[in-house]
Structure formats: C-alpha cells, structure tokens
Amino acid sequence: MENIQYLLYFFLIYYSIIISYFNFSLYSNPLRNKFSPNFVSVIIAVKNGSNSLPRLLQSLIDQSYNNKIEYIIVDDNSTDNSLNIIKKYQIKDSRIIVTSSKYGNPILSHKKKALDAGIKISNGEILLFSDVDCILPNDWVSNMISSFSDNIHYIVGYSEVPHKYNLVTLFQKIDFAMLMNATNAAINKNLYWACSGQNQAYKKSIYFQNNGFNEISKLLQGDDTLFLQLSNKNITNFKAVFSFNKSNKVFCRQEKQIIPFLLQRIRWAGDAIHSWKFNKSLFFMSVSTFFTNFILALNILLYFLKFISIKQLILPFFIKFIIDFSLAVKGMKVHNNRYSIFEFIYWFLIQPFYIIIIGLGSLFQNQISWKGVKNN
C-alpha cells in the first residue's frame, strides 16, 4: 500500500505544480486592437436544431458589428424543421446564407465536414464559430474581432454553462468554469491545450495552411481543441490569445440528465488521448489528473478495508482541495462568475469519480455517437 501512496503523491505534486502555475497565469486579456478585416464570416453547423435556431438566428441579426459580415448556417442532414426555419430568417436578413454539409470534403467526418462546407463558400478573412444551442451577446462579433492583430491567428473566447435545473447542471457549471480557468491560464503562457467550438475565431488563412481538417479527418471531435494544437504545430510563429469580457461571454446549453452529460464529456475527453500527437504536455497533464483522482477514489476503498489510516485518506484530499479552490477563486474574480463554497465542495467530492468515468470511457470513444452518428 505504501507504493500506491507514493504514486499518489507523485501525481499529486505534478498536478499541484501545474495548477499553481495556472493560478499565477490566470488573468483577463480583453485586447482592443484596431484590427479591421475586410469581411467576416460566422459559420455554424446545425443538425436538428429547430428548438434553438430562432433564438440563435435572431441573435445573429441583432449583432452590433456594422462592417461586412455574413452568417453561414450549414445544415448537417437535419431531419426536423431546421432548414425551413433558416430559410424563413433568410427573408428577414440577406446576410444569412444556408448551405449543406454534403458539399464538405468527403474524407471528413461529422461536424468537421459541415464546417468545411461553410468555410469553402465563406468570403471572410476572419471566421467565427459557435453552436446552434448557444446564446450570443449582441457585441460578440465586435469583441472577438477586436482581439485580433496582424500577428494573432486564433482567438479562444470564454464560454459558460448556466445552472438552472438540478445537481447535474450545477456540476457542469463549476466543472466548465474550472476548464475555462485552465484554458485561459494555459493560453496566456502559450500552452495551447484547449478551446471550445462554442466560442472561437481564427483567420481563414490558417485553415488552408493546415490543409483543413484533413490531418484529423476521421476523429469524432477535433474542430476546436485539436485544430488549435494542429495550428500550433504547423504554422510558424503561431499565436493564439484568450479573450474575455462580459460582451463576448457565450452561454452554452447544459445537459439536464446525467447520461447525456457523461457521454458528451467522454467525447470531449477523446481529444486528450489524440493530443499525444500534437501536444505531449497536455497528454501528460491529462494522465496526471486521471491517476491523481483514481488513487484518491481508491483510497476511500482502502480506508474502509483498513489498509490506510484516516490521515492518509484526508491529507491528499485536503492538498488537492486547497489547490483547486485557489484556482476557482481566482477564476471567479477574472471571469466574473459566482458559486458558493458549498457548491464548490459538491463539485470537488464528485470530481474524482467523474474523472474516472470519462477517462475510462474515452478509451471506447469509437462506440460513442454524436447526434446519432458514430465515429469511424
């Protein structure tokens, strides 16, 4: 049992060093560059989004950005009323353009094929991306564009999951906030570990410099985090920034049931496995996080089997709590979100078991479907 405890502290020390480093690197970066692109394209893939489309399309029409812009909505083989809704809003605003995922690169899979179809017909030198079930503030486009400069290729925006329903959505709110904290801090130190397709933008030129999504063509995910890492690998002097202010904070749909939520996060966790090819530091951090939480959970069993003492059980939990809570407090100040100490404790106690489930589940990612489609 001593060897297990030594292993725990090895991973815990590594984890603590990284999170502490993030704590010092976490700050707001609301850049206001005088960057003025000739044309901007917003591209959103839609698959059976009829419930969310009216709100999304109206939020696009209401954007305050007053230079040349187009809103490209890519229908990804929807079987509901999505296409008719898009065409209805086209009558209201000629800037709304609809196309189909069938025009995307045939070697691509899933959402990436749909996005490729939109990028192919886009006129913008800057491409912005979000999802159909997100809430976009009126100044979203303007603020994301203002973060670009001649030497900045990629903007990672802040996303937030609201908590309105139950303990599942509460866990998502805090877990996603912690992910955003780590993403912000990592990007501030040029560690391009993660981003979210719910709120991102990049120069169209880097899409073609990367040869599109071809290098990650068959993966279920990849249009955000892996594409960011791919860009860093392929493009000389690549630069991304994390941009946050209240006017470009995107609110994302939460999963209200535990099984859909876990399946969603298992898909996301698959990026960490594939990141071995593009970003080994992220891969090692993911492994460290998994084994830290795995052994913490194992210690609970070992305590009840009387293999370890109460001190051996509590001490590593206490160390991790202090490290995680310090990042959470700093993140609340920087990103202007709020949750109580009791809500954080709830997340903290559930997290080890959650990490084990999604970590092991990600090994079987090929069996997970996204909107009815499995990975190849």
Give me the mean pLDDT over the 330-357 stretch: 94
- Model pTM? 0.91
Q: Are strands 373-374 and 126-129 parallel, antiparallel or unpaired?
A: unpaired
Give the Cα separation of 88 and 85 in Å (integer): 5
Angle at 367 between CA 366 and CA 370, to 5 degrees: 85
Three-state secondary structure of 191-241: CCCCCCCCCEEEEHHHHHHCCCCHHHCCCCCCCCHHHHHHHHHHCCCCCEE
Which residue is it, tokens 């960011």?
228
Q: Where are the domains positioned within the chain?
A: 2-25+279-362, 40-257
* CA-to-CA dists, residue 139 to 109, 131, 142, angstroms: 32, 17, 5
Share of the chain above pLDDT 90, in %: 75
The pLDDT-based confidence of 373 (bands split at 50, 70, 90) is low
Radius of gyration of the chain (CA): 21
pLDDT tens track for 75-96:
999 999 999 999 999 999 999 9
> What are the CA-CA distances from residue 206 to residues 86, 117, 210, 237 (Å)?
29, 16, 6, 12
Q: Measuring CA to CA, which residue among 158, 362, 156, 164 is closest to residue 264?
A: 362
Q: Each residue of 181-190: pLDDT tens digit?
A: 999 999 999 9
Mean pLDDT across the chain: 91
Instruction: Provide the token pair at 198.
Output: 């719910």
Mean pLDDT, range 123-139, rounded to an integer: 95
List pLDDT tens digits, range 162-200.
Answer: 877 789 999 999 999 999 999 999 999 999 988 999 999
In terms of CATH architecture, what is 40-257?
Alpha-Beta Complex (3.90)
Task: Round to whole Å and give the CA distance between 173 and 176.
Answer: 5
